[in-house]
Amino acid sequence: MITVVRRRTLNSLLSDLSEAEAATAAAHEDAEQRRAESQRSAESATRAELAVEELRGALARSRADTARLEGELGALRAQSLLDNEDRQALRMLLRIARKQRADRVYVLFHHGELHSVHATLEAAESTAEAEGADRSGWTTHTPGAALPPASEVSWRVQPLPFGGAR
């Protein structure tokens, strides 16, 4: 009876051993699949991190561009408002000049840029003097002679024919 028990035990142990070897082989195969899957996941995560960094850089550039463009838009809006105010002032001055039936107007320039339009030379000079022009700095210009460059002259009054003047 001892022999039978040992043979059963041996058969049982051999059976358990073959089951354990099969389970070990299956576990090794499963572990290898998981390692490969883990490696693919790590590579995918690395690619995703690179893409996120690229997108963050693009977002930062877009934000900087947006801020710059908003600043430019604000400056353009302010300039547009100033241009509208200038046009309104010029229209008002032209209406006044038309009512006075003037044949010419006197345009006041500051460093070559239009400052204002006046019905008389005295009004133009007074405006320039109120803005800081030297009272004794006015000279006459010979008709037909070349004007000095605007950058060399702080204030200039230039008569221009107006409306139906012949």
- Asked whether residue 87 is assigned to any structural domain, the reply reads yes
Least confident of 20-29, 56-65, 112-121, 135-144: 135-144
- Asked whether residue 59 is assigned to any structural domain, the reply reads yes
- Asked whether residue 91 is assigned to any structural domain, the reply reads yes
pLDDT at 47 over 90: yes
What confidence score (pLDDT) does residue 144 get? 76
pLDDT at 6 over 70: yes
The answer to whether residues 162 and 104 touch, using CB atoms and an 8 Å cutoff, is yes
The answer to whether residues 118 and 71 touch, using CB atoms and an 8 Å cutoff, is no
Q: Which of 84, 99, 114 is the last residue of a domain?
A: 99
More confident residue, 133 or 41: 41
- Asked whether residue 21 is assigned to any structural domain, the reply reads no
What confidence score (pLDDT) does residue 48 get? 95
Q: Which of 99, 114, 140 is the last residue of a domain?
A: 99
Q: What is the C-alpha to C-alpha distance for residues 48 and 39, in angstroms, rounded to an integer?
A: 14
pLDDT at 18 over 90: yes
Same domain, residue pair 63 and 94: yes
- Asked whether residue 15 is assigned to any structural domain, the reply reads no
- Asked whether residue 19 is assigned to any structural domain, the reply reads no
Same domain, residue pair 85 and 41: yes
pLDDT confidence band for 59 (50 / 70 / 90)? very high
Which class for 138: exposed (0-12), middle (13-18), buried (19 or more C-beta within 10 A)? middle
The range of the structural domain enclosing residue 148 comes to 102-161
- Asked whether residue 54 is assigned to any structural domain, the reply reads yes
What confidence score (pLDDT) does residue 34 get? 95
Q: How many domains does the chain have?
A: 2
Same domain, residue pair 47 and 62: yes
pLDDT at 165 over 60: no
Same domain, residue pair 111 and 77: no
pLDDT at 141 over 70: no
pLDDT at 35 over 90: yes
Task: State if pTM tops 0.75.
Answer: no
Same domain, residue pair 53 and 91: yes
- Asked whether residue 117 is assigned to any structural domain, the reply reads yes
Q: Which of 99, 115, 130 is the last residue of a domain?
A: 99
